[in-house]
């Protein structure tokens, strides 16, 4: 094979044919395209006319060039050109095999091993001694050369490490040797030095796998979703899938969620409910066996469910004095807060319950059960606790003396006390104590033998500040000061959230700093091997927190999950802040593997090019001699377009995509705007849609007959095109398989709801679900309504204005009779004087949700007779009447707002008028 640059030719003598091209040029020039003979009677008129354009009677130059190019392509093609031909040369001397052996090699590990195996067997056949050097696990002394066959026997036990090679130069054997370097394809500090060192000793061949190296960064929580950074050495070209893996409720490890990263993405977002999120143990790139493709999660992605319970009712306007204000501020960014009564929050199974100055504990039995199962109860002292600390409060780590202790107050002699440094063994050990934290008042513990061991923080004078004790599986922690700033400045200081974090109440927001972990010892609980498999780590030694915070994955700190007390820190194989880039080798370096330029025969492509040029030549010749006319020209052009692969469909698709968005037809808009129009939403279920429209017709007729509202014929709203502002009321029957509206439609719906529109959601399931997920329609309703801006809802209170906007009603039946849900009313409203209802003046509920299938009760056929039966006999007709009355009340509510609520002022107005 002859080489010309990167091109090799298998039969180079054929290239001599190129010499003949100039001869061909003259030959072709001499032969013009043949004329057409035409019979034409009008030739009598042509006689004597001469050609205007003086053109040599020869083939035009561009046609010549086309033919020459076709011929040249054919000649080159038959000469058998090959791009980047593989050439091999003989080798001698010892062979050193250098293997990066990092997690990035793990993906192609079998190919690495196969390549090493081949090199070893070749060396064995040539009688060359060989040595194997793993850069991730460098031996303390230079490896010595051994017979290649011996090394091959040890290959199956050779595995990649879950970290990357260090930048330092490994010890190299003495003497000259050839090197085969199996690279993981990542740029790395020290790589160029090693390459130079190896090159100095003999020839260096690099083998490198193809494709970008993928890795996952540490997961963190961002705006309620878990984000996992995706680090790649080259931009992604194919979508990849990342799975979130963790135990299911039964404790069996399985995939909890899966997201797809589009090409070019640098981050994945997992929108997970908190329960699921807290269970996620690791994220994995699906189908990629590498430690880098595994991202272990730790406290940073776990958010505890914390219940805040304060003694007494909140004093409005005195927020800063509220017992839970500072707790709320400290915990809200990193924990999911639940508020309510103890009874309510126990049902939600929180991780932590915070009782701020609560002396009398209701539901003590259930709280005890919850503690026994491993709950963490955090208590804060306060005036109430100080006043009530008697025998019998079992939820205290230490017995308290009655009455508080005041130091440094206006009526006391002492100075406010500061904090003593935290003792070793305390969970707070290592935290900086700010000098400006001062304690004015505290509750005092009764001296007891176990007091010292239960104290985890003390004041400068040795009195306990924080005590704790076990309670079954759980734990009780007591802060001897109040949670607000009345007793101490502790809640104002930065120490407060740090202490909460140490107690594993709040989660860490970001990567741990050295200070966060100082003073603690971390024991690896799970370790990752090079292939990304997790294994237990019982025998591993503990790591000091200061080191762990700064640690880069390596032999001393292997990647894994490190645990200290209740806290966990993940050390991932991908070092923090590591940016992946493809390895760059010196110019001229011999590179094998996927990254090497592939040997590519060009014969077929050249011959195809020649053929294509000949086709063009045929078309051009036809065009020149006037034979390409009319339909034949069209056919030829189409054929050419297909041959060039220039199908214009892509462009057309883009045009349609850029087409202006559909708008409402003007006539329809005028019709909707000219009068009150009830509207329904097409569900796609023909039967439901028919009944819904008939129901609105029936309601319209009833309204026209009984009230001054005389609606036009109801319409079916198209959420995508119609302007919703023109409709006052939309009836939305929910079916189980209804398609969700587009994001644009949701934006319109939200604008509609904010602008005073009303949607009546009807699951038509007799409210069996109780607004839960028990029925398909209920589940569908939740999915459909999730993107809508809906205020908090509540079952309709008996004094809601819907009960009296036109008729006085107490039930809101359709074909079924169940409760309905409307916007929750604020609590702090007192009953109007002399009226059976509260003084509520603002707002029309934007949504009414129920499952009573109202449209079926309202529906009339074309003769105005009821379409569907309701109930049984007279009682059923009574129910239909009530359903219609509900419809009237609802429309009145939409149209008049809370006008009826304002009737409470009528007596006052009359009185004023009288004066």
Q: CB 618 → other proteins: shortest distance, Å?
A: 15
8 A C-beta contact, residue 796 and residue 833: no
Question: Distance of CA 670 to CAs 667, 723, 894, Å?
Answer: 5, 11, 21
C-alpha closest to that of 857 among 741, 629, 699: 699
Interactions with other proteins, residue window 629-668 (CB under 8 A): 629
Contacting residue, 39, 865, 872, 912, with other proteins by CB under 8 A = 39
Q: CB 54 → other proteins: shortest distance, Å?
A: 9
- Whichever of 36 and 541 has its CB closer to other proteins, that residue is 36
- Whichever of 31 and 238 has its CB closer to other proteins, that residue is 31
- Please report where in the chains the tokens 């109202």 appear, as a residue: 854
Which x/- pattern over 45-84 shows residues binding other proteins (rule: CB under 8 A)?
Answer: xxx-x-xxx-x-x---------------------------
- Whichever of 35 and 650 has its CB closer to other proteins, that residue is 35
Q: Which two tokens stand for residue 621?
A: 């010749």
- Whichever of 53 and 223 has its CB closer to other proteins, that residue is 53
Q: CB 679 → other proteins: shortest distance, Å?
A: 56
Return all residues near 198 (Cβ < 8 A) that are at least 6 apart: 96, 98, 172, 179, 181, 204
Burial profile 771-801: b = 16 or more Cβ within 10 angstroms, e = fewer: beeebebbbbbeebbeebebeebeebeebbb
Which x/- pattern over 702-731 shows residues binding other proteins (rule: CB under 8 A)?
Answer: ------------------------------
C-alpha closest to that of 675 among 715, 705, 706, 719: 715
Question: Distance of CA 51 to CAs 54, 57, 366, Å?
Answer: 7, 12, 110
Which span sits near other proteins by CB under 8 A: 39-47, 123-131, 255-263, 781-789?
A: 39-47
Contacting residue, 13, 26, 40, 413, with other proteins by CB under 8 A = 40
- Whichever of 53 and 538 has its CB closer to other proteins, that residue is 53
C-alpha closest to that of 880 among 818, 819, 810, 814: 814
Q: CB 67 → other proteins: shortest distance, Å?
A: 18
Q: Which two tokens stand for residue 333?
A: 């960014």
Return all residues near 46 (Cβ < 8 A) that are at least 6 apart: 40
Which x/- pattern over 573-612 shows residues binding other proteins (rule: CB under 8 A)?
Answer: ----------------------------------------
Q: CB 27 → other proteins: shortest distance, Å?
A: 19
8 A C-beta contact, residue 105 and residue 175: no
Which span sits near other proteins by CB under 8 A: 40-48, 497-505, 871-879, 885-893?
A: 40-48
Return all residues near 772 (Cβ < 8 A) that are at least 6 apart: 778
- Whichever of 620 and 868 has its CB closer to other proteins, that residue is 620
- Please report where in the chains the tokens 């700064």 appear, as a residue: 550
Euclidean distance between CA atoms 693 and 733, whole angstroms? 11
Q: CB 29 → other proteins: shortest distance, Å?
A: 16
Burial profile 560-599: b = 16 or more Cβ within 10 angstroms, e = fewer: bbbbbeebbbbbbbbbeebebeebebeeeeebebebeeee
Q: CB 47 → other proteins: shortest distance, Å?
A: 6
- Whichever of 39 and 315 has its CB closer to other proteins, that residue is 39
- Whichever of 420 and 620 has its CB closer to other proteins, that residue is 620
Contacting residue, 23, 37, 392, 686, with other proteins by CB under 8 A = 37
- Whichever of 254 and 629 has its CB closer to other proteins, that residue is 629
Q: Which two tokens stand for residue 387?
A: 């006043």
- Whichever of 32 and 202 has its CB closer to other proteins, that residue is 32
Q: CB 633 → other proteins: shortest distance, Å?
A: 10
C-alpha closest to that of 272 among 214, 338, 228, 240: 228
Q: Which two tokens stand for residue 98?
A: 């250098």
Euclidean distance between CA atoms 393 and 399, whole angstroms? 9
- H or E element: which one contains 215? strand 214-216
What φ, ψ does residue 830 adopt, rounded to 5°?
Answer: -95, 160
Q: CB 43 → other proteins: shortest distance, Å?
A: 4
Euclidean distance between CA atoms 843 and 841, whole angstroms? 7
Contacting residue, 34, 141, 411, 910, with other proteins by CB under 8 A = 34
Euclidean distance between CA atoms 224 and 336, whole angstroms? 10
- Whichever of 66 and 624 has its CB closer to other proteins, that residue is 624
SS3 label, residue 573: coil
- Whichever of 47 and 808 has its CB closer to other proteins, that residue is 47
Q: CB 683 → other proteins: shortest distance, Å?
A: 53
Euclidean distance between CA atoms 891 and 878, whole angstroms? 20
- Whichever of 44 and 657 has its CB closer to other proteins, that residue is 44
Q: In what order do the strands lie in the sheet with 305-310?
A: 336-339, 305-310, 352-356, 376-381, 474-482, 464-471, 455-458
- Whichever of 51 and 539 has its CB closer to other proteins, that residue is 51
Q: Does 833 bind other proteins (CB under 8 A)?
A: no
- Whichever of 44 and 658 has its CB closer to other proteins, that residue is 44
Q: Does 910 bind other proteins (CB under 8 A)?
A: no
What φ, ψ does residue 18 adopt, rounded to 5°?
Answer: -65, -25
- Whichever of 45 and 828 has its CB closer to other proteins, that residue is 45
Q: CB 642 → other proteins: shortest distance, Å?
A: 25
Q: CB 863 → other proteins: shortest distance, Å?
A: 59
Return all residues near 316 (Cβ < 8 A) that are at least 6 apart: 828
- Whichever of 57 and 911 has its CB closer to other proteins, that residue is 57
Return all residues near 392 (Cβ < 8 A) that are at least 6 apart: none
- Whichever of 219 and 628 has its CB closer to other proteins, that residue is 628
Q: CB 68 → other proteins: shortest distance, Å?
A: 22
Q: How many residues bind other proteins (CB under 8 A)?
A: 28
C-alpha closest to that of 102 among 645, 555, 456: 555
Burial profile 479-500: b = 16 or more Cβ within 10 angstroms, e = fewer: bbbbbbbbbbbbbebebbbbbb
Q: CB 620 → other proteins: shortest distance, Å?
A: 12
C-alpha closest to that of 573 among 97, 98, 107, 99: 107
Contacting residue, 26, 31, 41, 156, with other proteins by CB under 8 A = 41
Q: CB 635 → other proteins: shortest distance, Å?
A: 15
Q: CB 56 → other proteins: shortest distance, Å?
A: 10
- H or E element: which one contains 621? helix 603-624
Any idea of the CA torsion for 331, 333, 338, 339, to the nearest 10 degrees? 70
Q: CB 624 → other proteins: shortest distance, Å?
A: 6
- Please report where in the chains the tokens 């690791």 appear, as a residue: 282
Q: Does 38 bind other proteins (CB under 8 A)?
A: yes
Q: CB 623 → other proteins: shortest distance, Å?
A: 8
Which x/- pattern over 277-316 shows residues binding other proteins (rule: CB under 8 A)?
Answer: ----------------------------------------
Which x/- pattern over 606-635 shows residues binding other proteins (rule: CB under 8 A)?
Answer: -----------------xxxxx-x------
8 A C-beta contact, residue 759 and residue 849: no
Contact residues for other proteins (CB under 8 A)?
32-47, 49, 51-53, 55, 57, 623-627, 629
């Amino acid at each position: 094979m002859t080489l010309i640059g990167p091109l090799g030719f298998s039969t180079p003598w054929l290239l001599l044919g190129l010499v003949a091209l100039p001869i061909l040029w003259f030959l072709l020039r001499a032969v013009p395209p043949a004329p057409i003979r035409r019979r034409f009677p009008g030739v009598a008129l042509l006689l004597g006319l001469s050609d205007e354009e003086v053109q040599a009677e020869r083939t035009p130059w561009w046609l010549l060039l086309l033919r020459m190019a076709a011929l040249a392509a054919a000649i080159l093609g038959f000469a058998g050109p090959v791009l980047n031909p593989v050439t091999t040369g003989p080798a001698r001397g010892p062979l050193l095999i250098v293997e990066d052996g990092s997690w990035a090699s793990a993906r192609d590990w079998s190919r690495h091993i196969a390549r090493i195996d081949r090199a070893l067997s070749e060396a064995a056949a040539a009688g060359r001694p060989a040595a194997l050097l793993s850069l991730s696990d460098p031996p303390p002394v230079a490896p010595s050369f051994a017979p290649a066959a011996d090394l091959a026997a040890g290959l199956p036990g050779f595995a990649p490490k879950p970290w990357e090679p260090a930048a330092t130069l490994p010890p190299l054997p003495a003497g000259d040797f050839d090197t085969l370097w199996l690279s993981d394809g990542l740029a790395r500090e020290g790589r160029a030095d090693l390459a130079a060192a190896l090159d100095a000793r003999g020839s260096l061949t690099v083998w490198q796998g193809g494709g970008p190296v993928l890795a996952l960064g540490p997961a963190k929580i961002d705006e309620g979703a878990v984000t996992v950074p995706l680090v790649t050495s080259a931009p992604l070209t194919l979508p990849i899938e990342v799975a979130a893996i963790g135990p299911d409720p039964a404790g069996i490890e399985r995939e909890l969620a899966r997201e797809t990263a589009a090409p070019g993405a640098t981050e994945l977002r997992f929108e997970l409910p908190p329960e699921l999120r807290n269970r996620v143990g690791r994220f994995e790139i699906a189908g990629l066996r590498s430690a880098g493709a595994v991202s272990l999660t730790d406290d940073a992605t776990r958010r505890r469910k914390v219940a805040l319970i304060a003694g007494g009712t909140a004093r409005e306007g005195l927020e800063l004095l509220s017992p839970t204000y500072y707790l709320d501020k400290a915990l809200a960014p990193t924990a999911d807060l639940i508020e309510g009564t103890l009874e309510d929050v126990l049902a939600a199974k929180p991780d932590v319950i915070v009782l701020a100055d609560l002396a009398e504990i209701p539901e003590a039995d259930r709280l005890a059960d919850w503690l026994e199962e491993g709950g963490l109860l955090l208590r804060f002292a306060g005036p109430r606790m100080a006043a009530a600390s008697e025998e019998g409060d079992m939820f205290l780590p230490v017995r308290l003396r009655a009455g508080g202790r005041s130091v440094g107050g206006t009526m006391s002699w002492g100075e406010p006390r500061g904090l003593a440094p935290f003792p070793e063994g305390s969970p707070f050990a290592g935290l900086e104590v700010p000098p400006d934290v001062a304690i004015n008042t505290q509750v005092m513990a009764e001296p007891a033998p176990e007091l010292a061991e239960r104290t985890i923080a003390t004041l400068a004078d040795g009195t306990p500040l924080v005590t704790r004790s076990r309670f079954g599986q759980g734990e009780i922690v007591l802060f001897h000061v109040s949670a607000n700033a009345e007793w101490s400045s502790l809640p104002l200081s930065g120490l407060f959230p740090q202490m909460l974090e140490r107690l594993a109440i709040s989660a860490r927001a970001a990567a741990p700093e050295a200070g966060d972990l100082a003073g603690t010892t971390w024991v690896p609980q799970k370790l990752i091997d090079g292939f990304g498999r997790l294994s237990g780590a019982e025998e591993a030694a503990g790591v000091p927190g200061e080191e762990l915070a700064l640690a880069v994955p390596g032999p001393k700190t292997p990647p894994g999950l490190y645990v200290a007390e209740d806290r966990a820190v993940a050390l991932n194989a991908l070092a923090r802040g590591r940016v992946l880039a493809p390895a760059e080798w010196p110019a001229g370096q011999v590179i094998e593997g996927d990254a090497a330029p592939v040997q590519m025969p060009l014969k077929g492509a050249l011959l195809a090019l020649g053929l294509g040029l000949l086709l063009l030549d045929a078309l051009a010749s036809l065009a020149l001699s006037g034979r390409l006319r009319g339909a034949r020209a069209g056919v030829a052009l189409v054929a050419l377009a297909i041959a060039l692969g220039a199908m214009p469909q892509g462009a057309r698709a883009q045009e349609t995509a850029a087409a202006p968005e559909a708008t409402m037809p003007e006539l329809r808009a005028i019709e909707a705007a000219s009068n009150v129009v009830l509207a329904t939403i097409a569900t796609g279920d023909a039967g439901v849609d028919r009944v819904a429209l008939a129901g609105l017709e029936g309601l319209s007729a009833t309204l026209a007959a009984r009230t001054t509202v005389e609606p036009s014929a109801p319409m079916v709203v198209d959420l995508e095109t119609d302007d919703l502002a023109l409709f006052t009321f939309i009836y939305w029957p929910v079916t189980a398989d209804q398609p969700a509206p587009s994001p644009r439609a949701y934006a319109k719906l939200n604008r509609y709801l904010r602008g005073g529109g009303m949607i009546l959601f009807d699951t038509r399931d007799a409210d069996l679900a109780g607004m839960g997920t028990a029925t398909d329609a209920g589940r569908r309703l939740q999915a459909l309504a999730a993107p809508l801006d809906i205020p908090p809802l509540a079952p309709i209170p008996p004094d809601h204005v819907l009960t009296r906007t036109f008729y006085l009603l107490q039930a809101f039946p359709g074909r079924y009779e169940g409760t309905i849900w409307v916007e929750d009313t604020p609590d702090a409203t007192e009953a109007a004087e002399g009226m059976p209802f509260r003084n509520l003046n603002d707002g029309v509920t934007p949504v009414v949700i129920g499952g009573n299938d109202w449209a079926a009760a309202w529906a009339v056929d074309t003769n105005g007779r009821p379409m569907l039966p309701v109930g049984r006999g007279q009682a059923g007709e009574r129910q239909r009447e009530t359903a219609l009355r509900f419809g009237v009340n609802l429309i009145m509510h939409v149209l008049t707002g809370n006008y009826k609520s304002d009737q409470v002022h009528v007596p006052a107005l009359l009185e004023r008028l009288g004066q």
